[in-house]
Structure 1
Amino acid sequence: MSARIAVVEDEEALSILLRYNLEAEGYAVDAIMRGDEADMRLREEVPDLLILDWMLPGLSGVELCRRLRNRDETRDLPIIMLTARGEEAERVRGLSVGADDYVVKPFSTPELMARVKAMLRRTKPERLSHRLGAGDIELDRQARRVHRAGRELRLGPTEFRLLEFLMMSPGRVFSREQLLDGVWGRDVYVDERTVDVHVGRLRKAINRGRERDPIRTVRGSGYSLDETFGSNAAAKAQAVSA
């Protein structure tokens, strides 16, 4: 899975433009038109980066940024603020409430894409790495291949995305609903029981004989990649440089 970016912008044409260019770069994009809706959605799921317009219906971008910085789960969320306000005092105000970067409209789309990538490289390097590793499992995003202990594993496209999603957040327990959103996407209707089916298929594909199962089932909660998985009990999944 690539980095997930939330775009909170009420100008429909600009929102479509941003979504198109971000998805062309390989990011998963969640477009939101109102500040109050974004406030609720970000309580449910925290993206890897937020592109936030200054002026929004329902709740201003400045107030939303202030609220996000006051919550533990979004305190460190990277935020790029978009605004037509170019005066120095307004830029200072935007940064003072917690924005990490500030882009004035009209802006260069390639420059904004470069800023997004640079910020993710600093804050979420595992999202940009071509390879992910956990214990004796290595996943190559570019080649779409997975190896365990030197042997190549045969995974279907859904099982590949499921493993990738879990490997990016070792130890974190995801509910079935969160896995549906992260692996299948919000726009696709799939029954939650489908998650159990694909987890079963993934386990069958990656585990041989007495090999340790890296996927942990948390009764009543969901699934996670065991952060202690690996030859060393304290080993944690980490991004492997390409």
Structure 2
Amino acid sequence: MHYLTVAEAQALPGLRLVLTAGVPGPWGEAAKAVLAFRKVPFTPVAQQAMAPNEDLLAWTGHRNAPIVCLDDEPPLTGWHDILLLAERLGQGPSLLPADPVQRALCLGLCLEIAGRDGLGWNRRHQIMAASLSAGPDPALDALARTYHVTPATIAAAPARLAQILSGLAAQLRQQADRGSGYLVGDMVSAADLFWACFSMMLAPLPQDVNPMPDWLRGPYADCDPVTMAALDPLLIAHRDRIYARHIGLPLDY
């Protein structure tokens, strides 16, 4: 993917999406997926992992990705805000069910996947644990403080991940029993896209369609036994179908 620098992007109109360059960060990949599904064009802007990103901070008030900047509107960083923006600007089928109860279920599943204390949040705690144990590192220590990574949250992560994964698998089975191949309703929704993107933190797609760096693939694929026991093959099969039918491969980042 070709990225603009912050200096280049600041002068442009339209929608600019700040992404961590060269890696499939799950929140960034989910933002890309919902914008692409809704046919919302964007200009990629590079954020550098584990770097100060002072120019990005001066422009947006944030150091981390993803960030969406639309014209002169305030920058957006939350998964929910980015999803609603894609719904507002996009065209074609919605990623949110029209029925209010189904919509609430869809957003609730997204929250379990991408929200605070969700799948991505807890998996990040596990991944950071190994790096933090290697010794003091100012950048990692600052990141740990930002995301409240502590020995207690690291220890609690496997049980929480298993709870989320078991719930997603149960929902898929319930949907299959009524003849649907999606997490909510009878059409692809944001919940399906979010699960597909965040599943990479547990079981990355093969290198030929997901050319992620080795330094990240290893930690992403190295899961604890409790989490792996809850990673039902049904969830991975669903992930593969969503990428094949709705997101597209190979990945480009």
Q: Please indicate, yes or no, whether the TM-score normalized by the shorter chain is above 0.5.
A: no
For CA contacts below 8 A with separation 6 or more, give which structure has more relative contact order.
2
Structure richer in strand, relative to its length: 1
Report which of the two structures shows the higher radius of gyration computed on alpha carbons: 1
